[in-house]
Amino acid sequence: MNGCKEINTAGNVMPNLTLANIAKACEGTYFGDEAMLDCCIAGAVTDSRKVEAGFLFIPIKGARVDGHDFISAVFEQGALAVLSEHKLTNPAGPYILVESTTEAMKKLAAFYRRSLNIKVVGITGSVGKTSTKEMIASVLSQKFSVLKTEGNFNNEIGLPLTIFGIRGEHEVAVLEMGISDFGEMHRLATMANPDICVITNIGLCHLENLGTRDGILKAKTEVFSHMTENGTVILNGDDDKLCKKKEVNGRPAVFYGLDEAPKMAEDGTLMAYKQIYATDVRNLGLEGMCAQIHTPQGDFEAHIAIPGEHNVYNALAGTAVGLTLGLTIEQIAQGIAAAQTIAGRTNVIHRAGMTIIDDCYNANPVSMKASIEVLAHSKGRRIAVLGDMGELGTDEKALHYGVGEAVRNAGIDVLFCTGKLAKEYAAAVVASCDVHYFENREEMTSTLCGFVREGDTILVKASHFMEFPKVVEALRTLA
């Protein structure tokens, strides 16, 4: 059993993660029965409520709760061992003493990933990481057993937990990596060690820390230093920053985008030649998109069930990854057609004769404008419900004003908005549509629920801190 001693667990053990190897990987000191050093753990979690028989518990010290307080309880639940930042008195099982449980978890994830015979696809970018991840996972699932990042587990706590979810049956892991500052990608990519890296775009987000789009490019491309030997980089060739990364680690990048001919960047330089590209793009409104996709292995008609032109780019990225890992054109087309969205990401909900576009997981200027474009192609009275966008730095007012201009130019019928910066939306829209501004979300939601009627299409979008899922939930409860 991968060099592991048998233990009584309900599931498969994690190969190579013996207590001895864990202590070594974490640079920690083992305390406990030495006869158990060859035992493999069955899982690794930071939430004590998720501990099962044979698991490793990793206690994290948070602002309000210290996971160390639950060590006794997890042993009662059947934990095989725990990490700890301080010595324990008469623990009910073995533990590994480390300086920092958070850092130990990252080191352990990096060790575990490198011990596995699995292909890893790492996805980053300013906008569209999650929807691209879903598309790529759907494509690859036509041939492989795939593990993918769930929810928002794309940061320095979530990524290692995702990696710990890899088991022997998995053949490919599709890992999303989100950052907001320099150095974060180095730490994430050290754990992920991707064989394939996809970067969706370089947009306007996290400007508070990264400063400019060039800063964002620098931070995102830190991933290149941590890829496997002969790894493949897949980039959006229509992005004026990414198109210049024509060679990475001595190997040519693979580019995708719309139309075969390279576009002209704003600075006058010719952008990248795209090996995989789409033509004849047709917008079907909330029914999705269709496009002809061209590849070196042949062409095919792509049917995308998710609305928005940006999902054509997601399908192109999925095509590029699929071809890299040996899928046929037929398998790729099936995977694109089968792709679905998740809650908060252009999730279309039909309720009380209305259509709700739930896109409120997060927001930045690029994703806002993409969602407004989706709303513009919808039927009925088109209502945009928008809140503030965060982490935009010194240009935050101008960037919010630009989103308001997009609402005006798209011919949206009604704008509901709330937030300190959402006033800029209203200022930009002027008299082009029916504008309703509110000081707080609760007042806006109450008025909105009395305003909407059968036949309306309602877009709900804001940055996560605005808590707009509560707006969606209120609309869902309407009879």
Between CA 449 and CA 454 the distance in angstroms is 12
State mean pLDDT over 412-426. Answer: 96
Give the pLDDT of residue 9: 47
Residue 1 has pLDDT above 70, yes or no: no
Exposure pattern of 82-120 as b/e (b: 16+ CB <10 Å)? bbbbeebeebebbbbbbeebbebbbbbbbbbbeebebbb
What is residue 143's three-state secondary structure? coil
Distance in angstroms (rounded) separating the CA atoms of residues 202 and 213: 6
Q: What band does 218 get if pLDDT is binned at 50, 70 and 90?
A: very high
Q: What was the pLDDT predicted at 432?
A: 87
Statement: the pTM of the whole predicted model exceeds 0.75: yes
The pLDDT tens digits of the residues spanning 4-37 come to 665 544 457 898 899 999 999 999 999 999 999 9
Q: Which residue type, as a one-letter code, is found at position 211?
A: G
In the predicted model, is pLDDT for residue 336 greater than 80?
Answer: yes
Give the pairing type, strands 95-97 and 29-31.
antiparallel
For the segment 444-465, the average pLDDT, to the nearest whole number, is 96
